[in-house]
Each structure stands twice: as C-alpha cells, then as structure tokens.
Amino acid sequence: MQSSSESPLLILASASPRRRDLLAQAGLSFSVIPASFDENSVSLLQCPERYVKTLAEGKAGDLSEKYPDHWIIGADTVVVIGDNILGKPGSKEEARSMLRRLSGQTHQVFTGYCICCKSTHRKFSEAVTTDVIFKRVTEKEIEWYIHTHEPFDKAGAYAIQGLGMFLVKRINGSYTNVVGLPVCEVIEFLIKEGVLSLPMPLPLPDTGQGQGRGQDAGAGKAGRGQGLHPIFDGGVNL
C-alpha cells in the first residue's frame, strides 16, 4: 500500500484505551487526540440513543474545528437498564449498587459514534444497541470484583473484555459495541468514503513440501497481509 500525502488522516477523539485497542486490532493507522468537549453540557433527560449521538457529535465536532482536513471519530457509551442510564461509578458504593441492579437482568449498551471531515463536508452519526444478559451475581463476587478496581472507569461498572467477562451470560448484538465502539459499522463507513482500502491478498508461496503443509504456512502469511489498510501510511504526530 502506497502512502498518499494528500489523503486525510484519521483521529480518534477519545482517551479510551479500549477504543484505541479496537481500532488498532482492526489494523487501522490513526492518532489519538482526546476531545475537550464538555459532556456535562448534554442533558441526560433525553433518550439514550439521542444522548450518546449528541455526545459523539460534540466530541468529533470539537476536533474537526481544529483539524478540518482529518477524519475524526467521536464516540460515547452508556449502559441502560429500565429507564436509568448508568455511567461510570464514582465510588465503591455506586459500583456495588450498579452491579446489584444488573445482576440476573438484561440491560442495553448504547454506543453513539460520529465520523466527520469538515473540509469534505461529510458527517455521519448513529447509535448502536446491544442487549447484555448478566448472570446472577453473588455479594461475594461483587465485593471481589470491586476490589480489582476494574469497575471504576467503565460505564455500568463492568468491562466485558476484562475480568468482568465472568458476569456476562450472553449478548445479542455487537460485542465491540459493548467494549466501546461498533467496529463493523465504523469500518463500513470508512471503506464507503474511501478512507480505508482493501489490499489484494498475498499469493500462497510454493514451498514444495506437500499440499497440506504448504497451505498452512501460506495461510498464516496471507492473513497478515489481508488486514484493512488506510489509504495513508502511518500515524501523524500532532
């Protein structure tokens, strides 16, 4: 893949290590610049879909003013059970209360994301929902999990990709959405806009060691060469 100095670059407007890891695992090249958007300026008295979309649009819009030639990804995630939006717990008691509330119940995880590039006048946002079914959690399990300190920077007081995976019986919908970013939808849009390209597969090498063995070796190499690639090469230091 050749780099193009005229191609717009990709910026993740989030300090979340989980969103960063998801995009990195997908093979994207990007920079991380947390937005300075004031999340408290958005009212909680709206439906969860509108709430997370508004936050995502605010974060992406904040950076697009500073970097108009870049593609910006903003996102926000909340956990909802009944009519209550659960954010990040601020104390052990809040974490304890959230985990008790989620125990044995089905809740929803909403992630709103916004992708925009000001110079091309392109902007897209939506909210993705995943149903999450919790096991019945004992008080002993709750206390153990709280003392791992994992719940305290996670919406709903748990991390499905971390130690908190033992809490989840099953999900209905996107797993990465629960982690913090619906990667399938994000990549689908970036490909549609030409920000990402799909490289041609590498040919299988002729090892001369028999069909089965040669195919196994070649498949491993081809897999590393078939990941999604940005139309630009490398990140940008800003």
User: Could you give the residue numbers annotated as active site?
Assistant: 76
The helix-helix angle for 17-25 and 183-192 (nearest 10°) equals 60
| Nearest Cα to Cα of residue 80 among 169, 177, 6, 1 | 177
| Nearest Cα to Cα of residue 128 among 175, 182, 168, 75 | 182
The conformational region for residue 30 under phi > 0 = left, psi -120 to 50 = alpha, else beta, is beta
For the chain, what's the residue count? 238
Asked if 111 contacts 16 with a C-beta cutoff of 8 angstroms, the reply is no
Q: For residue 166, give Cα distances in angstroms to 6, 19, 61, 141, 180.
A: 46, 21, 37, 10, 18
Beta-bridged to residue 117, according to DSSP, are 122
- Which amino acid would we find at residue 182? P
Pairing outcome for strands 196-197 and 10-12: unpaired
Backbone phi, psi, residue 226, to 5°: -105, 10
